[in-house]
Amino acid sequence: MNYAPVPIGLVQYRPGMVELDRTRARGDDRIPIAISSEYPVDRHFGIEVLVHKSTAIDMTHAPEGELPFLDGHDTGRQVGAVEGIYLGTDGVLRGYAHQGNHPDAAWIFADIRAGIRKKISVGYQIQEFEIDDDTYRATRWALMEVSTVAIPADYNVGVGRSDPSLPTEEHMTP
C-alpha cells in the first residue's frame, strides 16, 4: 500500500522566533521577521523538513510577495501583512510585518516591539515530499500565511532574526 502519512494539501503550521532589528530606516515601522527555515520538526509521521530553495516554495498565495499576518493562525484576526518576502542567503525565508487596522493590531504590534511576542509561525501546505528513513523533506510546499504565536515548532525563526547578509536576497514572487 502506498500510504503517505504526510498531510498533503492540508494547512500545517510551523512556528519560529521574532527578534527586533533596530537598524531600519527612520520612519519604517515594519518589523523584520524570519518566517521559516529548514529546521527539522518532529511530527506524528516522522521528522519534517521544509526545503528552502526558490524552486521548492510555491508563492501562489503570496501575490506580489505579500501574505496575511494573523494572530494565532486565526483567519478572522488578520492584524497586518507580511511584505517583501525573500529567501535569505542563510536559507531562511524572511519578510517584514506591517501593522494593519484590526482593533487588536495596535497592542499586538506594541507587544512585538516590546519583545513580549517573539514567536512566529508559518501556515503552509505540503505539495510534494521525499522520504529518507524517518525524515520527510517537503520538496514543494505552498506558503499560506504568517502568524504571531505563543508556542512555535521552529525556534530558529521569528522577530529579530535578521539576516546578517542583507541586502543580498532572493525575492520570492509567485
101 has a pLDDT exceeding 60: yes
CB-based contacts of 137: which residues, under 8 Å, 6+ apart?
Answer: 49, 51, 129, 130, 131
CA distances from 62 to 44, 54, 69, 86, 174 (A): 28, 13, 11, 11, 7
Q: What is the pLDDT of residues 22-77, one digit of tens each?
A: 555 556 789 999 999 999 998 888 999 999 999 999 999 988 889 999 999 999 99
